[in-house]
Amino acid sequence: MEVSGLDSDGKEFKNAEEMWREQIGEDGEQQEKKTQWYREGISYWEGVEASVDGVLGGFGNVNEVDIKGSEAFLQMLLSDRFPNARNNQHLVALDCGSGIGRITKNLLIRYFNEVDLLEPVSHFLDAARESLAPENHMAPDMHKATNFFCVPLQDFTPETGRYDVVWVQWCIGHLTDDDFVSFFKRAKVGLKPGGFFVLKENIARSDIF
């Protein structure tokens, strides 16, 4: 089904394919334009303050309600998928597009023994590393942020069978359609048996690409 829509500049496209052709080009020029498209995305975030308000686009006030909603959802999933988690089961999560470690610090590190952070913007990751240092946050004993990967989603390949949960929130829209599919195929290899993805994204209320 074809759905027309507008980009953030108000330009109209007949469908998503037409929009992508303009953004990343046809096959012959695609790699160069795609590289530039990703570079511009990183460049934008490099100019954003490493704070809750910064990573949430000026809507830092949604942080608390976001964490509460995610926690209720996560508790339901963990009780269903890992009922023996409190009996010395070692759980590991990957926080994709982690930014300054907002979700790790306020949620994931309280439920997982280890959390790895994946973020392509270096000053965000530096802020996360500082914020999640043991002396700067309260977390249960034996719960820690372990690895800080400064790598974009489209280039990341996880360690095989490391993660119980791969948490992907408010970042997957930065990928082209083909890289979206490729990312999940690679990331699936990083899941333990019984592991799963959590994908949390906003849904547009109007026809905007």
Binding-site residues for S-adenosyl-L-methionine, in ranges, read 97, 102, 153-154, 169
Burial bucket for residue 186 (CB in 10 Å: 0-12, 13-18, 19+): middle
Cα 101 from Cα 119, distance rounded (Å): 9
Helix 16-24 / helix 30-46 crossing angle, nearest 10 deg: 90
Between CA 172 and CA 189 the distance in angstroms is 18
* SS3 of residue 2 by DSSP: coil
For residues 111 and 86, give the distance between their C-alpha atoms in angstroms, rounded to a whole number.
9
The binding site comprises 97, 102, 153-154, 169
> Rounded distance, CA 45 to CA 120, Å?
9
Q: Is 131 exposed, middle or buried (0-12, 13-18, 19+ CB in 10 A)?
A: middle
Number of residues that this document lists for the chain: 209
SS3 for 164?
strand
